[in-house]
Amino acid sequence: MTTTTGSSSATGATGAGRTRVEGRDKVTGAARYAGEIPFAGLAHGWLVLSTIARGRVTAVADEPVLAMPGVLAVLHHGNAPRVDADYVGMLGRPNPVVGLFQHDRVPFTGWPVALVVAETSEQAREAAEALVVGYEEEPHDVAFRAGRDDAYRPEDSPMVQADAGKGDVRAQLDGAAFVVDAQYTTPEEHHCTMEPHAATARWDDGRLDVIDSNQGSGWVAAEIAQLFSLDRDSVRVRSEHIGGAFGSKGLSAHQVAAVMATTVLGRPVRVVMTRRQMFSLVGYRSPTAQRVRIAADADGRLRAFDHEALNLTSTVHEFVETSAVLGRVLYDAEAHRTRHRVVRLDVPTPTWMRAPGEAPGSFAIESALDELAEKCGIDPIALRARNEPATGPVSGLPFSSRNVLACFEEGARRFGWADRDPRPGLRREGRWLLGTGTAAASYPSGVGRSTAAVTAEADGTFTVRINASDIGTGARTAMTLVAADALQVNPDLVRTRIGDSDLGHAMIAGGSTGTRSWGWAVRLAAADLRERLALGGGIPPEGITARSDTADAIDALPQQERHSFGAQFAEAAVDVTTGEVRVRRLLGIFAAGAIVNPLTARSQLTGGMTWGLSMALHEEAVRDAATGGHVNADLAGYHVASHADVPLVEADWVDDPVPGDPVGIKGVGEIGIVGVAAAIANAVWHATGVRHRELPIRPDRVLRAAGETPGA
């Protein structure tokens, strides 16, 4: 196949489109998610969240609630089991919100203050709503905006390098032929997984057994063990089917509440978040305020690239939305500066959300590049080609592979870019002004240590054990195909077990690292097994098992810039008399290494692009300054793109071999969203002549802009 790259395959299992191995279960309703496993004696927990944004709890009137029918317990800071949230987990210190009911402080609206447990969910809900909580309220501040004088530079960490730079930005700006200096903002955005966070916990023969919806069951098991000071082996977390995650499904309040309640009551307890609770408990993408300054020579070569991004965090935990890291990969300049700043407010802590950093960052810099192209009078794709760096602009390291220009070339051909008249505001079709736009995309291709076991069974089949998480990515199917390829057998002979912390250590499903990390471990174990089987001899009843651990192989990787790349194309129609913006088509072409399963990879890519459309036009969580809470914490008020919003969305890829890389897989979970909002905003400019630097591009903003810009 021309669209397949990477190692050659004897069976051709990878590279050929395969439907999901759990597909039949998903289309018949047989697939069970975390809140759907029945247990005898199951009790239901319902969280109670604070209604003030800052202060302390003075009283929890649990007596009348305990007298209500079916109520079994009310847990709060006065009686909850003690936990130790002062630990360092796989991704750093935990969000203090998991230190449930340990003190009376309230740091934001929606902080969990109690859990009501009852025999049925109806009883628990009514009792939770009846629980009177007294507060001592203090003044709060939830106003995020650019230019706050209390913004600070976050400390560098393994996850975040706050500032990077070289050269003299001021000097290069002064001497440049063209300068773009613009502010861009993106709003607070929420993951809104279709499946609300849910966990059932119980003690089973001395072990804690948690059925949960998460993106790393080993990760969550380890965090629970640390939090409750338990032996790691005494905690088992299972997560077979996961109804979406997008960065929001690690350790949260629901698992902790369920574990506390089952420990206190001695019976299984399920805690499911309500849709409204998810808006304050599971993290979100911080709003951003970004300033981009780019200076170029007369021929469009960059002399200065300067990107400063501000995000908010809570008063109890730091999260940095790494919006400015994208420029460290995409563009070089004589003077290059990228900086992150953070402001602490009385709000919940943000977290990773699909393409954290790159999604909002790409809106700013890919819009700015388009503005520069306009000023220079150079085609936006030609401008990017002219500034293609040979090595990492800040690191100086070589790229493992970088085929972004091939993406633009193929995308331009398929989108019909060559026929585009660059002048804005010229194309009209009835009430619609039409325009097209483009943007570059990039996202890191990371890897994390994983272990796997592959067994040749006595009946001629094979069993793969890898603690992967299938959050909708098709991981179960992908690992089946990777194993079949390495074993050189038909995928129908391979069973893959995932989503169980007892399967051993593996990387989480996050940061587009899953397929690369797990696939590597599976390939090593399967290759080892194949060699052992080649020696001949029978297979004993217990089978023959080969195991792998990628720790050493990962350590041996050379230092390189490893990223997926892409080119996004959008066509937008704008009605400036109603303010309506409709996206007519999206095309994304990607360079993302070897594609394991084209069917599911394409779904991930178009899914990411659909997120980009939703980000560009719809999504915006609005916080009320008076209460500190949301005014639109539901799926009617917080609109995510629906069927009618989403036009023709196409994704494809170019060959992207990664020379010398032992895996060749890069990951496709995030790259699809990167750049889409900028491509749409650039198309709206091309349609109307108006730049939209604030997301989402709402009708009122289109109308206001049309009013301010005569002729637009």
Integer Cα distance of 187 and 211 in angstroms:
34
Tell me the residue ranges of DSSP E strands in 6-93: 43-49, 55-61, 71-76
Within 10 angstroms of residue 233's Cβ, the number of other Cβ atoms is 11
Within 10 angstroms of residue 147's Cβ, the number of other Cβ atoms is 9
Q: Figure out which of the listed residues 6, 35, 45, 435 binds other proteins, where binding follows CB under 8 A.
A: 35
**Helix or strand or coil: residue 290?**
strand
Cis peptide before 38 (omega within 30 of 0): no
By CB under 8 A, which span of 187-195, 224-232, 251-259, 457-465 interacts with other proteins? Answer: 187-195
CB-nearer residue toward other proteins: 26 or 232? 26
Q: How many residues bind other proteins (CB under 8 A)?
A: 64
Alpha helix (H) residue ranges in 339-459: 358-376, 380-386, 404-415
Q: What is the largest CA-CA distance in the chain?
A: 83
By CB under 8 A, which span of 302-310, 343-351, 520-528, 606-614 interacts with other proteins? Answer: 606-614
In contact, 141 and 346? CB cutoff 8 Å? yes
In contact, 162 and 154? CB cutoff 8 Å? yes
CB of residue 5 to other proteins, shortest distance in Å: 21
Question: Is residue 437 near other proteins by the rule CB under 8 A?
Answer: no
Integer Cα distance of 51 and 79 in angstroms:
21
Question: Is residue 429 near other proteins by the rule CB under 8 A?
Answer: no
Cα dihedral 382/387/389/392 (nearest 10): -120
Q: Figure out which of the listed residues 193, 288, 401, 451 binds other proteins, where binding follows CB under 8 A.
A: 193
Question: Is residue 636 near other proteins by the rule CB under 8 A?
Answer: yes
CB of residue 681 to other proteins, shortest distance in Å: 19
Integer Cα distance of 445 and 403 in angstroms:
14
Q: Figure out which of the listed residues 219, 408, 565, 611 binds other proteins, where binding follows CB under 8 A.
A: 611
- Residue 568 has which token pair? 């996004």
C-alpha distance from residue 98 to each of 199, 250, 283, 542 (Å) = 14, 10, 12, 41
CB of residue 243 to other proteins, shortest distance in Å: 3
CB-nearer residue toward other proteins: 497 or 582? 582
Integer Cα distance of 566 and 403 in angstroms:
8
Q: Figure out which of the listed residues 40, 139, 552, 643 binds other proteins, where binding follows CB under 8 A.
A: 643
Q: Figure out which of the listed residues 225, 242, 364, 674 binds other proteins, where binding follows CB under 8 A.
A: 242
Integer Cα distance of 655 and 406 in angstroms:
9
CB-nearer residue toward other proteins: 191 or 686? 191
CB-nearer residue toward other proteins: 418 or 644? 644
In contact, 62 and 131? CB cutoff 8 Å? yes
Q: Figure out which of the listed residues 38, 147, 158, 206 binds other proteins, where binding follows CB under 8 A.
A: 38
Three-state SS letters, 308-322: EEEEEECCCCCCCCC
Half-sphere exposure in the Cβ direction for 279 (13 Å, CA): 19
CB of residue 272 to other proteins, shortest distance in Å: 8
Question: Of 22, 358, 410, 670, which is the active-site residue?
Answer: 670
Integer Cα distance of 688 and 702 in angstroms:
9
CB of residue 668 to other proteins, shortest distance in Å: 12
CB of residue 474 to other proteins, shortest distance in Å: 7
Q: Figure out which of the listed residues 515, 604, 682, 688 binds other proteins, where binding follows CB under 8 A.
A: 604
Within 10 angstroms of residue 685's Cβ, the number of other Cβ atoms is 23
Q: Figure out which of the listed residues 642, 660, 704, 707 binds other proteins, where binding follows CB under 8 A.
A: 642
CB-nearer residue toward other proteins: 148 or 582? 582
CB-nearer residue toward other proteins: 472 or 664? 472
Q: Sketch the per residue contact string, 459 through 488, with other proteins: x for CB under 8 A, - otherwise.
A: ------------xxxx--------------
Alpha helix (H) residue ranges in 512-629: 514-534, 551-555, 598-617
Q: Figure out which of the listed residues 7, 16, 33, 530 binds other proteins, where binding follows CB under 8 A.
A: 33
Question: Is residue 600 near other proteins by the rule CB under 8 A?
Answer: yes
By CB under 8 A, which span of 156-164, 267-275, 449-457, 624-632 interacts with other proteins? Answer: 267-275
Cα dihedral 328/329/332/336 (nearest 10): 0
Q: Figure out which of the listed residues 94, 99, 607, 629 binds other proteins, where binding follows CB under 8 A.
A: 607
CB-nearer residue toward other proteins: 107 or 472? 472
**Would residue 670 show up in a list of annotated catalytic residues for this protein?**
yes
Q: Provide the edge-to-edge strand list for the sheet that holds 451-456.
A: 494-497, 462-466, 451-456, 544-549
Query: Which of 522-535 are b and which e, b meaning 16 or more Cβ less than 10 Å from the residue's Cβ?
Result: bbbbbbbbbeeeee
Question: Is residue 668 near other proteins by the rule CB under 8 A?
Answer: no
- Residue 133 has which token pair? 């909580």
C-alpha distance from residue 518 to each of 440, 505, 550, 658 (Å) = 28, 10, 9, 18
Looking at residue 58, what DSSP letter applies?
Answer: E
Residue type, 335: A
Within 10 angstroms of residue 88's Cβ, the number of other Cβ atoms is 9
- Number of helices (H), then strands (E), belonging to the chain: the values are 17, 24
The contacts of residue 421 (CB under 8 Å, 6+ apart) are 427
CB of residue 32 to other proteins, shortest distance in Å: 6
By CB under 8 A, which span of 295-303, 553-561, 610-618, 653-661 interacts with other proteins? Answer: 610-618
Looking at residue 630, what DSSP letter applies?
Answer: B
Question: Is residue 30 near other proteins by the rule CB under 8 A?
Answer: yes
Q: Figure out which of the listed residues 10, 648, 660, 707 binds other proteins, where binding follows CB under 8 A.
A: 648
Question: Is residue 652 near other proteins by the rule CB under 8 A?
Answer: no
C-alpha distance from residue 27 to each of 32, 36, 473, 475 (Å) = 12, 16, 16, 17
Q: Figure out which of the listed residues 122, 129, 388, 531 binds other proteins, where binding follows CB under 8 A.
A: 122
Q: Figure out which of the listed residues 140, 241, 337, 384 binds other proteins, where binding follows CB under 8 A.
A: 241
CB-nearer residue toward other proteins: 650 or 694? 650
Q: Figure out which of the listed residues 406, 544, 640, 703 binds other proteins, where binding follows CB under 8 A.
A: 640
Question: Is residue 130 near other proteins by the rule CB under 8 A?
Answer: no
Q: Figure out which of the listed residues 15, 20, 373, 706 binds other proteins, where binding follows CB under 8 A.
A: 20
CB of residue 485 to other proteins, shortest distance in Å: 20
By CB under 8 A, which span of 117-125, 323-331, 546-554, 564-572 interacts with other proteins? Answer: 117-125
CB of residue 691 to other proteins, shortest distance in Å: 27
CB of residue 676 to other proteins, shortest distance in Å: 11
In contact, 559 and 702? CB cutoff 8 Å? no
CB-nearer residue toward other proteins: 90 or 640? 640
Question: Is residue 126 near other proteins by the rule CB under 8 A?
Answer: yes
- Which residues have a catalytic role annotated? 670
Residues lying near other proteins in the complex (CB under 8 A):
19-20, 22-33, 35-36, 38, 120-123, 126, 191-196, 241-244, 246, 272, 274-275, 471-474, 599-600, 602-604, 606-611, 614, 634-636, 640-644, 646, 648-650
